[in-house]
Amino acid sequence: MPDIILADALSKRYGRQQAVQRLSFGVAAGQICALLGPNGAGKTSTMRMLVGLSRPDTGSVRIAGVPVRLGAPVLRRVGVLIDGPAFIPHRTGAANLRLLWTAAGRSWPPPGLTEALDLAGLGPAIDRKVKGYSMGMKQRLMLAQALMRQPDVLILDEPATGLDPAEVRALRQHLAARAAAGAAVLISSHQLAEVQMLASHLVVMNRGQLVAEGALDDLLGGAGTLEDAYLAMIEGHDRAAL
């Protein structure tokens, strides 16, 4: 099956720091791929390049076979959560969703609005100004923003941050349903137990480099948990780097 998200030899340097180094991987339709790595591994830098927010020094990104650049039309097919939630604080949650949707010249409402609002579960708070929202409410509203367009590609940076266990479960079920419907899902997360329940594939990064890539079951091998397998991979890579 062809990869919907394709990163090919991506490199990115910020000043003296090499954030990402010749990173290649792909996510096919129906897959839920978890991008894992310690803090500073280059996960967010990679995700920024995947959605055109950052220009790779070398390499390229393709989504559905189309090269990605800043503001590329193919991004209409992508639901994005990156660098945390961000809204216009003096506008309501509903007004924020509407403004972010119509900014791209689309007519309101988006196709998956009802389902996305159900998942967000904000109730009457959707009509309150965002500056009064808790961190969890902002995260849920941002997830609604990413999901309301019914994307066939999802790129979500730490989507479960600030969510309670019931909300995490609802998000997991929603992402699994999207993948079952043919979407390619890429998430980054530090919550390895959650990832083990959700992901079908893994991309593990350390120090900007690819450590391992493949199906979750293959990468788990004899390790009982993803946590054990992940820590073994990172420690092995650190030792090799020394």
Which residues contribute to the site for other proteins (CB under 8 A)? 14, 45, 48, 51-55, 70-73, 75-76, 78, 80, 82-84, 86-91, 95, 99-105, 145
Residue 225 Cβ vs other proteins, minimum distance, rounded to whole Å: 33
CB of 40 or CB of 84, closer to other proteins: 84
Write phi, then psi, for 97 (nearest 5 degrees). -60, -45
Whole-angstrom distance, CA of residue 12 vs CA of residue 109: 37
Residue 209 Cβ vs other proteins, minimum distance, rounded to whole Å: 20
Structure tokens at 193: 């137990």
Residue matched to tokens 């083990």: 196
Residue 180 Cβ vs other proteins, minimum distance, rounded to whole Å: 24
136, 137, 138, 143 alpha-carbon torsion, rounded to 10°: 90
CB of 120 or CB of 212, closer to other proteins: 120
Residue 101 Cβ vs other proteins, minimum distance, rounded to whole Å: 8
CB of 80 or CB of 229, closer to other proteins: 80
Using the 8-state DSSP alphabet, how is residue 54 labeled? Answer: S
Residue 92 Cβ vs other proteins, minimum distance, rounded to whole Å: 12
What is the CA 3 to chain-centroid distance, rounded? 16
CB of 31 or CB of 54, closer to other proteins: 54
Other beta carbons less than 10 A from residue 158's beta carbon: 19
H-run or E-run covering 37: none
Residue 55 Cβ vs other proteins, minimum distance, rounded to whole Å: 6
Residue 68 Cβ vs other proteins, minimum distance, rounded to whole Å: 10
CB of 58 or CB of 102, closer to other proteins: 102
Using the 8-state DSSP alphabet, how is residue 105 labeled? Answer: T
CB of 9 or CB of 104, closer to other proteins: 104
Whole-angstrom distance, CA of residue 21 vs CA of residue 151: 29
Helix, strand or coil, per DSSP, at residue 80: strand
Closest CA to 186 of 18, 40, 48: 48
List CB contacts of 166: < 8 A, sequence separation 6 or more.
Answer: none
CB of 88 or CB of 177, closer to other proteins: 88
